Homo-oligomer: A and B are copies of this chain.
Amino acid sequence: MTAVLDSLQQGRQAVLPAMRAAVDRLDPASRAIAYYHLGWTDLDGNPTSGGGKAVRPALALLSAEAAGAPPATGLPGAVAVELVHNFSLLHDDLMDGDTERRHRPTVWAVRGAASAILTGDAMLALANEVLLDAEGPGAVAAARLLSEAVGELIRGQVLDVAFEQRDDVTLDECLDMAGGKTGALLSASSAIGAVLACAPARTVSALAEFGADLGLAFQLVDDVLGIWGEPSVTGKPVHSDLRARKKSLPVTYAVTHGGAPGRELAAWLTDGDVADDAAVRRAADLVDLAGGRAWALEEAHRRMAAGRQKLEDAEVPGRVREELLALARFIVTREA
């Protein structure tokens, strides 16, 4: 695990100057909000230590190495995927009404909806600019890859919102939604360095599929943490996803495959009563009894194994493959 933290730390160090240079191209107001959102400053603009783990940039750098190029080849991709990730967080926090992220107030909660919308829009446009300004023949293909991933990411978000109004979401639909919402950008992050390195299509596909598997594994575990995670670790209230009656993967499994406990859970999800703590605890137990927790964790393991297989089949060099897998394990087990 220490090796992964070292590698992440190195990745952050490598990416941070380029990330700063990109964000500094924003207009001053958006820039100040982006600095706050990224954990670089507090609300008054004073520098802070912190910020996200920057796992997507680390994947992008490793992805260049997977294609035999130096990590720096993946740098514009690393910056671009991190910008897209944060565009998405800014808009999601607003749409979900989440008031905290990484133990700090979210942008919309302290600066209003317009700030979150516009800063998100600006970061999305900037991601594209960063790739189009990159040199080398792979830059346009990388921009295309990222645009498609953004389309998929939004498709996943749209489904997520639509599912809130439905009581008949199937597990396949839920997996498809997670593939878009979470998988698409992790997939692009895992492939974009190789695209920038002009790697053969076979290598790019294998890396993209590895990233998609990683994305699903991450979402499965994240959904488990959203129900049973320790608030001090996740930064979210206990049982928060259930309190919001979110049709996450373990919940959908439980409702669609979980027998009597699943039916009791389904009834509770639609009863419309205000949920007290006891009811939410009972709902969490029902997801567990219906097999939703065990399925989610097993499925996450299956996805990780599938991802490893894809890297092996594509003959990604051993050291890079092991670093990618170690990073993937870290993302799945630690990032919430």
Contact = CB atoms under 8 A, between A and B. Distances in A.
Interface of A: 25-27, 29-30, 87, 91, 94-95, 113-115, 117-118, 120-122, 124-126, 128-129, 132-133, 140, 143-144, 147-148, 150-151, 154-155, 157-159, 161-162
Contacts of A143: 128, 132, 143
A26 B159 CA distance: 12
Contact of A29 (B95, B151, B162): B162
Given A29-B158, A29-B162, A95 B117 contact: yes
Main secondary structure of the interface of A (DSSP, over half): helix
Contacts of A114: 95, 157, 161
A133 B129 CA distance: 16
A265 to B, nearest CB: 25
Given A27-B151, A30-B154, A129-B144, 9 more contacts: A29-B158, A87-B121, A91-B121, A113-B113, A121-B124, A132-B144, A132-B147, A140-B140, A143-B143
A129 B144 CA distance: 6
Contacts of A129: 144, 147-148, 151
A124 to B, nearest CB: 6
Contacts of A126: 151
A112 to B, nearest CB: 8
